[in-house]
Structure 1
Amino acid sequence: MKLVVIIPTLGRGSQLGRLLLHLQRQTQPPGEVVVSAPDATHVELPETSCFPVSLVFGKKGLCAQRNSALDHASGRFDVVTFFDDDFVPADDYLERVTRAFQEHVDWAVVMGRVVKDGAINAGLEWDDAMLALDQSEQEPPPRPEVVDHLGAYGCNMSIRAAKIGKLRFDERLVLYGWQEDIDFTSQLRSRGRVVAVSTIRGIHLGIKTGRMSGERFGYSQIVNPVYLIKKGTMPATFALPLMARNVAANLVRSVRPESYIDRRGRLRGNILAIIHVLTGRIEPEYVLDMGTIRHPGVPHV
C-alpha cells in the first residue's frame, strides 16, 4: 500500500525539520511527505531525505492546510496519515499502520496510542519523547489492543484514502480548528470502523507556540462543539460534557493559573461564546475578529 504523510505546520520550522529527520528512521518509509504551511518562512528541511518531501503553501489554518495537502495528494495513495508537527512516532509506526489496513478491510480510520501527551501539561522535550518511546517498547501494550472511537485524535490519524472521496475538513473551524478531527473522522464511520490501536505508538510533545490566544481558544471551546452538534457530526452526549469540563477547569484554575495556559483568557472566551450561543450566534469563524474587537459585557477575569 502506498502511504503519504501530511504535516500541517505554523511557526515551528526547527521542530518540523527535526520531525522530518526522525521520520527517516521508519522501518517502512512513507511514499511521500507533504508539508502544508502558509509560506516558506514556516519550513526548515533536512539537507537530505530518503523519501520525497513536497511543500504546499496557501491559506493559514489547520483545516485549510490539511485540505490543501489532501488536494495535492489526491488519487495517488492508498493511506493518508496526518501528523501534527510536534508528534513523534515510534520507528515502526507507519509499518504497523499499513499492516492494519491490509489486514482489516473494514477499517476506515486508524489512530495510534499517545504514550505521553504534552498537550495536557507544560509540554515535553524531544529527549523526553525518545525515552518514553524506548520505555513503551519494553512494556506490553494496553488491552484490548483495538478500541472503536467516535472519531480520531488529530495529532496522529491515518485514513484509507478510498474512503475520503470528496470529504474535506470544515474550514469554518478556522485557525487551530478545535474538534476538527472529530468532525472529519466521525463522518467516516458510515464508511468503515474508526479505531485506536494500542501497538501503534507515538508521543505528542504539545508544543505551545503556534496556537491560538487564550481568549480565542476559549471561544472555540464552546462555539465549535455547538456548531458540530447542529451540523450532526458530534453528539450532544459527547459535546456537552466536553464543554462543561473545559469551562469548569478554566473557572477553577483561573484563580491560580498554570504558567503555560492563559486560563483567564480562555474563561473570557468561554463567557463570550456562551453569550453568543444563547443569542443564536453560532459562528466558529468569529475568532478571526477577536484580536481587534472589544467585547463589552465580558468581565475581565
Structure 2
Amino acid sequence: MRRELTVVIGIATAGRREQMALTLAQIARQRRLPERIVICPAGADDYDERASALVACPVEVVHGPRGLTAQRNAILAACGQADVVIFMDDDYYPAPDYVAQVLSLFVAHPDIVVATNHPVVDGASGPGVPHDEAVRIVDALPAAAQAVPHIKETYGGYGCNMAVRLAPAREHAILFDANLPLYGWLEDIDFSRRMAAHGRIANCSSLRGVHLATKRGRTSGLRFGYSQVANPVYLLRKGSLSLSYAAKHIAKNVAKNMAMVAWPESWVDRRGRLKGNWLALRDWLRGELDPARIQRLL
C-alpha cells in the first residue's frame, strides 16, 4: 500500500502582521490541510501567534536572520522528514483544493521536484489585489476538472506558490542562496535551477490561487532596482541562470524603468528603481557588483 505523502506549508513574512491572519484564514479553507504550517517572521512584531488558532492544524513559528532566503532556509530546516513543502507568500490565497492537488501531482509524477503555476490573478503587475476581491476570485473558481491537469516544464518556480519535493533537496543540500539578501529577487529561479539537476520543474494548471502582491513590506525602489541587475549577474556567474535569461531579464526591467520614470505608477518607485539600476551597472563596470550591497543602500 502506497504511503500518503506528508506536506508542510512554509511562509516567510515581513511587515505584514495583519495580512498574515487573513492569509491563514484562507489556508484554513483547504479541503486537505497540511500536516503543519511553518512560519518564519523577519522580526518579533511581524507575526501575531494568536493567528495560529485560525487553522485546524499545527502551526510552528521559527526564527532566523532577516531576509527571504534566510527565512526560507529556516523553514526548510524545520520541515524534518516531511515529503513536500509548499512555499507560499504571506499574501497568496490558494484555491481550497491546492494542497490536495499538489499531493496528487507529486504522487502521480515522482520525477517532478518543483511544481508551480502562475496565479489566476497576480497583483504584482499592478497596484495589488484587495483582500475582498481576492476572496471573491477564489470563491468563483470552478471545481478542479476531473481530467488530467495540464503540465508543462518551466524554467523555474514562482516563489509566491512553489511546491518542493524535499528528498532531493535534503540529499543534495540544496538551500536558498543567502547571498541574495532582503527581498531575494530571483531566489526562486536559482533554487529551481539547482533542483532541476534532480528532476522536472513543472507548471501545473491545477495549482490555482490569487497573489495579492500587497505593497506594504516591500523593499525600497533603490534596493529593488539594484537587485534587478545585481542578482541576475551574480546568478549568471554562479551558473544557475543562462546568459539569455539573465540578459533578457536585465534588459526588460531597465528598459521599463527608463520608459516609465516620467509617468510612474503610483505604487512603483520608478525613479528609485532606475537609480538602483544605474548604481548596479556602474558597479558591474568597476568589477564591484555585489547583491549584498543593497543592505547598505537606503
Within the candidate set 86, 92, 100, 1:87 is matched to: 92
State the alpha-carbon separation in 2 of the partners of residues 259 and 248 from structure 1: 18
Post-superposition offset of 1:21? 1.7
Within the candidate set 270, 283, 289, 2:290 is matched to: 283
Post-superposition offset of 1:24? 1.3
Please say if 1:115 is aligned against 2:120. Answer: yes
State the alpha-carbon separation in 2 of the partners of residues 236 and 193 from structure 1: 21
The answer to whether the 8 Å contact 2:130/2:212 transfers is: yes
Post-superposition offset of 1:135? 3.5
Map 1:100-249 to 2 at 5 A.
100-137=105-142, 145-165=150-170, 166-249=173-256
The answer to whether the 8 Å contact 1:63/1:171 transfers is: yes
State the alpha-carbon separation in 1 of the partners of residues 166 and 117 from structure 2: 17
Q: For structure 1, list consecutive stretches of 5 or more residues without a partner in the other structure.
A: 292-301
What is the TM-score when the length of structure 2 is the normalising length? Answer: 0.93
State the alpha-carbon separation in 1 of the partners of residues 149 and 7 from structure 2: 26
Code of the aligned partner of 1:112: N
SS at match of 1:195: strand
User: CA separation of 1:158/1:139 partners in 2, compared to 1, >3 Å: closer, same or farther?
Assistant: closer
Post-superposition offset of 1:286? 0.3
Code of the aligned partner of 1:256: W
Code of the aligned partner of 1:173: L
What is the TM-score when the length of structure 1 is the normalising length? Answer: 0.92
State the alpha-carbon separation in 2 of the partners of residues 250 and 27 from structure 1: 42
State the alpha-carbon separation in 1 of the partners of residues 187 and 36 from structure 2: 24
Post-superposition offset of 1:205? 0.3
State the alpha-carbon separation in 2 of the partners of residues 276 and 253 from structure 1: 23
The answer to whether the 8 Å contact 2:41/2:71 transfers is: yes
Please say if 1:78 is aligned against 2:103. Answer: no
Post-superposition offset of 1:48? 4.3
SS at match of 2:55: coil
1:124-147 CA-partner distances (Å, limit 9, x unpaired): 011211222233427979x98111
State the alpha-carbon separation in 1 of the partners of residues 141 and 54 from structure 2: 29
State the alpha-carbon separation in 1 of the partners of residues 145 and 132 from structure 2: 22
Within the candidate set 55, 65, 68, 1:59 is matched to: 65
Please say if 1:258 is aligned against 2:265. Answer: yes
The answer to whether the 8 Å contact 1:220/1:287 transfers is: yes
Residue matched to 1:47: 53
Please say if 1:6 is aligned against 2:2. Answer: no
The answer to whether the 8 Å contact 1:109/1:152 transfers is: yes
State the alpha-carbon separation in 2 of the partners of residues 38 and 202 from structure 1: 24
Moved over 3 A (4+): 138-141
Within the candidate set 72, 75, 87, 1:69 is matched to: 75
State the alpha-carbon separation in 2 of the partners of residues 104 and 155 from structure 1: 22
The answer to whether the 8 Å contact 1:83/1:156 transfers is: yes
The answer to whether the 8 Å contact 1:113/1:199 transfers is: no
Post-superposition offset of 1:267? 0.3
The answer to whether the 8 Å contact 1:153/1:182 transfers is: yes
Residue matched to 2:23: 19
1:213-239 CA-partner distances (Å, limit 9, x unpaired): 001100000010000000000101111
SS at match of 1:47: helix
State the alpha-carbon separation in 1 of the partners of residues 58 and 185 from structure 2: 30
SS at match of 1:172: coil
| Stretch of structure 1 that moved more, 91-100 or 106-115 | 106-115
1:186-206 CA-partner distances (Å, limit 9, x unpaired): 111110100010121011001
| Stretch of structure 1 that moved more, 44-53 or 235-244 | 44-53
User: CA separation of 1:127/1:2 partners in 2, compared to 1, >3 Å: closer, same or farther?
Assistant: same
SS at match of 2:113: strand
